[in-house]
Amino acid sequence: MPEARWPALLCGIPLAVAAMTPQAAATPQPTPEPPGGVSQPVFTAEPVRETVWVETGLDGDGDGVVDRVAADIARPAGTDARVPVIMDASPYYSCCGRGNESERKTYDEQGRPVGFPLFYDNYFIPRGYATVLVDLAGTNRSQGCVDVGGPSDVTSARAVVDWLNGRAKGFDSADGGRPVEAPWTTGDVGMIGKSYDGTIANGVAATGVEGLRTIVPIGAISSWYDYYRSDGVSFGFDPVGLARTVEEGGRPDCDAAKQDLVDGAPANGDMTPLWSERNHVPDAGNVRASVFAVHGQGDLNVKMVQFGQWWDALARGGVERRVWLSQTGHVDPFDFRREEWVRTLHRWFDHYLLGMDDGVEKEAAASVERAPDVWSDEPVWGGEQARPTTLHPRPGSTGGLGELGPEPGQGSASFTDDPGLGEYDWAARPDQPSPARALFTTGPLQRDTRIAGTGSVTVAATPGTDTAHLSAMLVDYGPATTRDYLGQGEGIRDTATESCWGESRPGDDACYTDTEATRSDVDFEIIARGWADLANHESLSEERPLRPGTPYEMTFRLATTDHVVPAGHRLALIIGGTDKEFIVAPPRPGEIGLDISGTSVTLPVVGGASPHITATTPAAPPVVRPDRAPQQPDVQLNRP
């Protein structure tokens, strides 16, 4: 471990065991520092480690007994000071692991928790926090059944918040046992977690539960429909598969719960009550906690639309919030911006859980990675200042290759759905027509243009058969160096060194492999994507059979983005049929015609349209060098 790293991270706060400040009294208190300071590592004794089983009020497995979920606790010892809680509720503690090193929980021979994944216990317990890791119902040592984002999942975690605040029952065993209370805590809770874990934090916050002071959702879902479906199309996987994974093969007494997932998630992509129940966005008005959201713009697992719609809903409710947007894929900030992340998270929890006046709430509300390891801070996220800007396609001199600009066009275009092709096939040859897509390109932009927020595409489409799926993407054509978020590490790779973050204990190591950015030189970037089933043009809840030769109009979303298109680059809209990288083909793919006068793309442009995006000027189309085209994704979807 390079010692030179510590001063920059800790501002002089020692971490290694040998350098820890000795415990000054039998009952040390977290000592507030002057404004701008941080909590100090004064709790050096071996932490208290215990498991409490908390009643959820549900009987998911139908055995006639109220389910209990396991909350594994590590908290400061040798003190009567009450402490706040950092909580991570997860289904992955035994099946899949957490973090870049896939850490799992471990226990001693008596079943007491020993190994806590991630660094939260090592770093924060000495500073006056407890760490509580909750097994969601149906996973690891918890009773009940997994319902993938439904009431069982959310209640699993909320019940523990209630127990920490004296409103729920806890016991010292899974069955029977003695009641256990939590007099050691203030009841103030901060929930944190990546992916499924962060999704649970969103869901618990949306209940408005008292005692939850802040959440830190990382690459988290706000609507489970948008994880498995998109405006009527399916991504080809379903929640029952994830339920079996986190149950480690499936629990026989949970067959009914799994059948509910099968019945409630039809393959046709319709919105159903199951999906509505797992949509936290409409309940964002209930959120009382502050929110520190983190998301990767290259995340093709939990896509950026999950962040965008959640952020917009929180903004409408006036929730205190902050965001980091990286160029990575589905990656934790501990693995792409480690020192700054620990420093910032430390101060965030100090402020919202310990009540310290460290000024963190007055700092930049947004930090966006513009190039690998190059970050831009701003007082308000630019997506809140963007204005809708509508661009229209126009026919070009070559069939299938058109223009894109602010003035509406006339004419038509067409393509034939080829389910064997995808977005990178369509985007890689912008100077060549393709029967599988229509491509419309601006001229070289006159100045840098920032697109920040959630856009949409409107199509006037005429199907040649009675089924039609649509894909749309926004492409920045021009040379750039980006994080290689399509590669195996999704923008990072491990190095040969490690660094330590807190105090290591037997069976619970505080040291982690360091990482570094991976880079890719490209000639284009796909900056936003969207998919839809034309049969859902009237309603997402009910698809309607299409009549071949009949025109239909439909508007569907593009994923949220925050991207600066440099001056001299071109912006393109590509419309195709089945994108093999993401969506399932319709039963009868065929030719699809576009009425150009009824087709457009609406983008959130910071500063508005004029003079950022102007009419296309005649010029040669962008040319992509084969050695600089992005590789097709090497990422595994539907994973932690």
Q: Is the pLDDT of residue 638 over 60?
A: no
Bigger pLDDT: 632 vs 138: 138
Average pLDDT over residues 63-85: 96
How much is the average pLDDT of 153-181?
A: 98
* CA 413/CA 418 separation, integer angstroms: 16
pLDDT classification of 628: cutoffs 50, 70, 90: confident
Give the separation between CA 392 and CA 407, rounded to whole angstroms.
6
The pLDDT of residue 422: 95
Which helix or strand (DSSP H or E) is residue 41 part of?
none
Residue 326 corresponds to which amino acid? Answer: S
CA 498, 334, 379, 571 torsion: positive or negative? positive
Query: Percentage of residues in the chain with pLDDT exceeding 70?
Result: 91
Average pLDDT, the chain: 91
pLDDT value at position 13? Answer: 30
Is pLDDT at 29 greater than 80 in this prediction? no
pLDDT tens per residue across span 175-211: 999 999 999 999 999 999 999 999 999 999 999 999 9
Which pLDDT belongs to residue 251? 83
**What pLDDT score does 3 carry?**
27
435 or 636, which is more confident: 435
pLDDT score of 526 more than 70? yes
Long-range contacts formed by 170-179: CB under 8 A, 24+ apart? 170/52, 170/53, 170/54, 170/55, 170/71, 171/52, 171/53, 171/54, 171/55, 171/68, 172/50, 172/51, 172/52, 172/53, 173/53, 174/53, 174/68, 174/70, 174/141, 174/143, 175/68, 177/53
Q: Which domains does the chain have, with CATH numbers?
A: 16-383 (3.40.50.1820), 385-479+523-628 (2.60.120.260)
Q: What's this model's pTM, rounded to 2 decimal places?
A: 0.92
- Tell me what pLDDT residue 614 has: 56
Catalytic residues: 195, 299, 330
